[in-house]
Amino acid sequence: MTTLTAVSEVEFSTLRDNLNVSDSVLSKHLAALAEIHYINSRKGVHLGRRTTWISLTSTGGKALSEHVAVLRELIAGVE
């Protein structure tokens, strides 16, 4: 999800290659995130073939910020 904050929308294979994960692993995670409305996914075309375009929703962005804040608090607690 952090990766999605760097773009407005990203194509499935670009995200897969950047995260260095398999198609199935990424699909599974994206489906879970889409179900709770953290990401949007839509069918589209890239380089002449059908693919999926993914973007972070405002709900997802907010949840990510909160999650990062909690992690930072945890880290700060030991410093």
Interface positions with another protein (CB under 8 A): 1-3, 5-11, 13-14, 18-19, 32, 38, 46-47, 53, 63-64, 67-68, 71-72, 74-75, 77-78
**For another protein, which is the closer residue by CB, 1 or 34?**
1
Residue 66 CB, shortest distance to another protein, in Å, is: 10
For 24, what's the count of Cα atoms within 13 Å in the CB-facing half-sphere? 0
Residue 47 CB, shortest distance to another protein, in Å, is: 6
Residue 43 CB, shortest distance to another protein, in Å, is: 15
Q: Per the structure block, which two tokens stand in for 18?
A: 């950047």
Evaluated on CA atoms 39, 21, 24, 15, the torsion sign reads: positive
**For another protein, which is the closer residue by CB, 5 or 22?**
5
* Count of beta carbons in the 10 Å neighbourhood of residue 38: 20
Q: How many residues does the chain have?
A: 79
